[in-house]
Amino acid sequence: MTQARNDLPEPRPSILGITPYVPGESEVAGEGRVFKLSSNESPIGPSPAAVQAVNAIAGRLADYPDGAASDLRMAIAERHGLNPDNIVCGNGSDELLNLLAQAYLSPGDEAIHTEHGFLVYPIAIKAAGGTPVVAREENLTASVDAILEKVGERTKIVYLANPNNPTGTYLPIDELKRLQAGLPPHVLLVIDAAYAEYVNRNDYEAGIELVSSSANVVMTRTFSKAYGLAGLRIGWLYGPAHVVDTLTRIRGPFNVNAAALAAGAAAMRDAAHLRRAVEHNEHWREWLRAELASLGLEVTPSVANFLLVHFPDEEGRRAADADAFLKARGLILRGMAGYGFPNALRLSIGPEEANRLLIDSLREFLNRP
């Protein structure tokens, strides 16, 4: 006999309305060599110094990690010219995005994200009992005017990925300043700059300048992309003292593990390895963009470490068809239906072998009779 629902512990209704986040696929059944180009991971891996740092603490795993993340915060501060007291570290930037929602949203409050923004934002908002509000984008790019149009009496947070995942587009710093100036002072602007290291544009600034001059702006960053440490889950936030104080009250006392702390500090101090990762990305991102265009595929201009590739709306040549064809050749891309692009795939910039195999495979796919 099925137990009545009211006889079970009941979560908040907003929790049951959450669609779980689905990570990019990592395996293809029956295939040998597989290139995972679905999760925007670093194709050159972590700094050797980070690996060495993890190995060095392997014999001390019985000890709790430094709950204050002191050395990691100092390494970040040294690299970016910040006060370490304004930095909070987390179990990936996802944890920090969720903590912000828990701290600043009450049931019934609203938080804004853009039309094709990171899927973690509505999850964090709903988990805190808030209501997600979607602002339209223009040419697959966040619109300051559209965001400001959605601000109401219940608005407490604006989440903005800059650059945005999965489009790879970005807002210049002048637009970020215009957005902050247009928000009521009690609305928190969260700039998610997970891909900032890859951006090489004169009009781009990750958010440090705006945080330093504002009381209602925070910036989140990650070690999962350019630093190649996705497996250790390390993120950090730079914010005003009152936000740091708030998050320190609710984060776990040991929310970043010892291996992550050691690897993150070492990676942050290895500027040469980061430079190699960025140079690899710049070269192959442009090469892939040009090759995809030569195949007649539409590619959204990207400043990050991925490309959003749009496929023809033709029988046998749609994104789902391409996805199946590529998987049979050991190439895993990310389907984008969940982001509102049912006929597109997101391609992470991979190692040279994977990038060349991808173009050869797509050429074969598109030239089939």
- Asked if residue 52 has pLDDT above 60, the reply is yes
Task: Round the average pLDDT of the chain to a whole number and report it.
Answer: 95
Is 5-45+272-366's fold the same as 48-270's?
A: no
- Asked if residue 212 has pLDDT above 50, the reply is yes
pLDDT value of residue 2: 47
Q: How far is CA 110 from CA 129, 154, 226, 359, in A?
A: 9, 5, 32, 43
Please write the tens of the pLDDT for every residue from 165-185: 999 999 999 999 999 999 999
Please write the tens of the pLDDT for every residue from 244-264: 999 999 999 999 999 999 999
Distance CA 241, CA 220 (A): 15
The C-alpha angle 121, 247, 111, rounded to 5 degrees, equals 30
pLDDT value of residue 14: 77
CB-count exposure of residue 304 (10 Å: 0-12, 13-18, 19+)? buried
369 within 8 A of 150, measured Cβ to Cβ = no
- Asked if residue 369 has pLDDT above 90, the reply is no
- Asked if residue 1 has pLDDT above 50, the reply is no
pLDDT value of residue 265: 98
Domain ranges (residues) in the chain: 5-45+272-366, 48-270
CATH architecture of 5-45+272-366: Alpha-Beta Complex (3.90)
pTM over 0.85: yes
Place of tokens 């109401």: 152
Q: How far is CA 49 from CA 55, 73, 132, 221, in A?
A: 10, 17, 41, 20
Q: What is the DSSP letter of 281?
A: H
> What pairs with residue 188 in β-bridges?
157
| Topology given in CATH for the domain delimited by 48-270 | Aspartate Aminotransferase; domain 2 (3.40.640)
Please write the tens of the pLDDT for every residue from 121-148: 999 999 999 999 999 999 999 999 999 9
Distance CA 246, CA 241 (A): 9
